[in-house]
A and B are shown apart, each in its own frame.
Chain A
Amino acid sequence: MLLKLDNVTKRFGGLVAVDHVSLEIERGQFVGIAGPNGSGKTTLFNCISGVYFPEEGQIVFDDIDITRMPPYKRAPLGIGRTFQIPRPFSSATVRENVAVGAMFGTMSGQISVQESLKMADHTIELVGLQAHRDKAAGSLTPVEKKMTEIARALAMKPKLLLMDEAMAGMHPNDIDEMVAFIKRIARQEKIAIVAMVEHIMRALVNMAEKVIVLHQGAKLVDAPTQEALADPRVIEVYLGHPKET
Chain B
Amino acid sequence: MLEINNLVKHRGTHEILSGISFKARPGRVTGFLGPNGAGKSSTLRILLGLDRATSGSALINGKPFAELHNPLATVGASLDGSGAHRKRTGRAHLRWIARAAGLPNSRVEEVLEIVGLTDAAGQKVGKYSLGMGKRLGMAAALLGDPQILVLDEPVNGLDPEGIRFIRTFLRERAESGNTVLLSSHLMGELAETVDDVVIIKHGKIVADGTLEQVIGNHSSLEEAFFALTSEKAGDTV
The judgment on whether A and B are partners is no
Q: Which residues of B contact A (CB under 8 A)?
A: none
